[in-house]
Structure 1
């Protein structure tokens, strides 16, 4: 019998692209896609009309009254591999539902045949120091950098005020609570860019939102010194990391590696680094080049005036683990190479006309 993989978030940006890559790499798996409504089932079926190997489920109150998390718990109890991407980083109830499902399924598991939970987080948790100390718009401190191998103990014990930390703790605890009958891996991408290949949402948020703000307001927002740094990664490369982890889960030799699955299984998905002030300048310059703005204006703003706090606080994660233990190597084009497309897409979405 083919292994069963449960995926949440197929209509989202990351989950949709991850499923595209997983289906291509592993057509032999039995996929269950959990979505929120019958309407979303229709959207997914437009791209994946085949019924063999792809089962789509959603909460149907007219059928049994189950909530989304009731259904998630039930499906998690039957899955060999769970890939959770649907608002996963901050949704405590869905994380608890998966834990309940894994506990139900543990009766049919052993340490030699565990279930695997691949969980999507994000490097926003590395903003914790700047956020706690209100270091808005400042360049990163040397201590802001976290290597996911050398600093794994620090990463898995960050203060509770760190973004996503409450859910991370739930995920990480599974490894001890279930006595090896379930193992986890956490994937934490930085700023993601590029057009996705999923059935519904195909664009990211951070840089497109910056572009939309710039186009609407007529200037590029710069917080403080403008030297806040983040890492970035192309969407296809994030999906390849999910594929690499599923490959490892299906390989008994690698699935037993505690550096891949377990408390140390924490993977940053980062490739290059950008400075938000420079990205803002590139975006407004591109808006002028494409004819949507007359001049490239940069304006100093406070952290309360920008679309995302990501523009105001640093996130610096070094993706050593995926390269060392999974052979992952990002291949996507750079963020700078994608800015023209991002500006064009946002301008068309807003229905903007070029200035005379």
Structure 2
């Protein structure tokens, strides 16, 4: 019997991505979709690319009967998820795609998001959702907090290197390029085609980007001492994709060998041969991550490049990977679709 799934916030990009992936999932069935501003509408009206699917209409969250739901995905905006999840049945497994439960310390949440945490009692039970590093905890979790998409890209490039102690922890630089869908579906003037296309820009520079809270938390945890990285994201005029160029002080061959060994058995992580660098076009629409390592001309320095699809492996695909574990399903179920090319 298929697991019955509810998607809260199905009218956004990550909600639509969840629907796209679950549509071919062998063990999941969507039984409820919420979208408060679009309640009463069919998903085909909101996302015509899904019109071939027989889906429930969008409703308000309070109209959903959760007694018949096996797991809920919460794809709501930041700060909204806390209140919603606090009112869900306490025995209902939830995968949250927002930032609301990513930071273990509620004081850190207030620092980075500018408001007090609304559900601190739930925060202590939340498991950070970077699947390849928290797999065992996720299997038994009731609430899993999906990572930020930028945070995921940087961590895949760096966590094995930090844990193995093969790089200098005080000189890490992450230069990241991200597609515009990472900014969400809400109308924003700077995301209009005429203002975004044919150019690129840095944003949240100088240590202000909220995903730095995740880097601080996770890298410090991995190293056993404080680790602060320099991080600058850039917005590119493309729909999907993240490319993180990570500059480290470490022996390039050792950096490559460490990543290759750590990810050798991971189904979604592909470390390219030494000297070969990945492209976002090779992972588009998929749950795969490609990593490449190249030596710098300056001895003892290396460049690691990680690419992933921000809507899939960076968000909705990761969420389904975690849900598979929580429901006792094969971790890769519904996620082995090949990337879209060209």
Please state which band the TM-score falls in when normalised by the shorter chain. 0.3 to 0.5
Relative contact order (alpha carbons < 8 A, sep ≥ 6): 1 or 2 greater? 1
Length-normalised TM-score, structure 2: 0.43
Q: Name the larger-Rg structure.
A: 1
Length-normalised TM-score, structure 1: 0.42
Could you say which structure has the higher helix fraction?
Answer: 1
